[in-house]
Amino acid sequence: MNFLEERIVKDGIVKPGNVLKVDSFLNHQMDIALLDEIGREFKRRFADKKITKVLTIEASGIAIAYPVAREFGVPLVFAKKSKSINIEGEMYVAEVESFTHKNKNQVIVSKKFLGPDDHLLIIDDFLANGCALQGLITIAESAGATVEGLGIAIEKGFQIGGRVIRNFGYHLESLAIVDAMDAEKGTITFRAQD
């Protein structure tokens, strides 16, 4: 098991409805040393890529993306969730359905901060059905930017997102892939990775 898998086993809580709670170390209270290690691990996995910006989505993606952007020495841009509709023109817009909240949000990024010269590493905390990542890919495409790779802290491998994104041909790296989890027994099974 790698460092993140070990931490998930120790402190993650399996909830009914295929939700893994990691709020004691990742997305409510945050373990900064763990986040720094996540940053170093993504730098190692995407070491051969020339990244100009890291792109993520608020709110919990920001905590993961921050140490990654610091490792690469590049700016971090995060897509904002927005309810206003009168924003086209200055903004790239995508629609994202939330797995955890079951609602739809428009996410926006100012055209000032992404463009055709950008080579992006897209980062998020979780990958479930892939809506958040597809929204970020849509924004990257609207900007004419190149998606060099996508990095996820925890992929739920029993949901379709990972397969869809890999089938598109993207280089997707997930630090922990949960293949099964059982809310009653509290067990978590990880996919073996090199």
**Which residues are at the interface with ligand 5GP (CB under 6 A)?**
19-22, 27, 60, 99-100, 124-132, 156, 161
* Closer by beta carbon to ligand 5GP, 79 or else 114: 79
Q: How far apart are CA 160 and CA 140, in angstroms?
A: 21
Secondary structure class of 123 (helix, strand, coil): strand
Q: How far apart are CA 191 and CA 178, in angstroms?
A: 6
Q: C-beta of 23: minimal distance to ligand 5GP in Å?
A: 7
Best CA proximity match to 75, nearest among 135, 108, 117: 117
Q: C-beta of 71: minimal distance to ligand 5GP in Å?
A: 21
Instruction: Give residues with Cβ within 8 angstroms of 32, minimum separation 6.
Output: none
Q: C-beta of 17: minimal distance to ligand 5GP in Å?
A: 9
* Closer by beta carbon to ligand 5GP, 116 or else 121: 121
Instruction: With beta carbons less than 8 A apart as the criterion, state whether 115 and 51 touch.
Output: no
* Closer by beta carbon to ligand 5GP, 87 or else 164: 164
* Closer by beta carbon to ligand 5GP, 21 or else 50: 21
Q: How far apart are CA 15 and CA 20, in angstroms?
A: 6
* Assigned token pair, 53: 């910006």
Q: C-beta of 20: minimal distance to ligand 5GP in Å?
A: 4
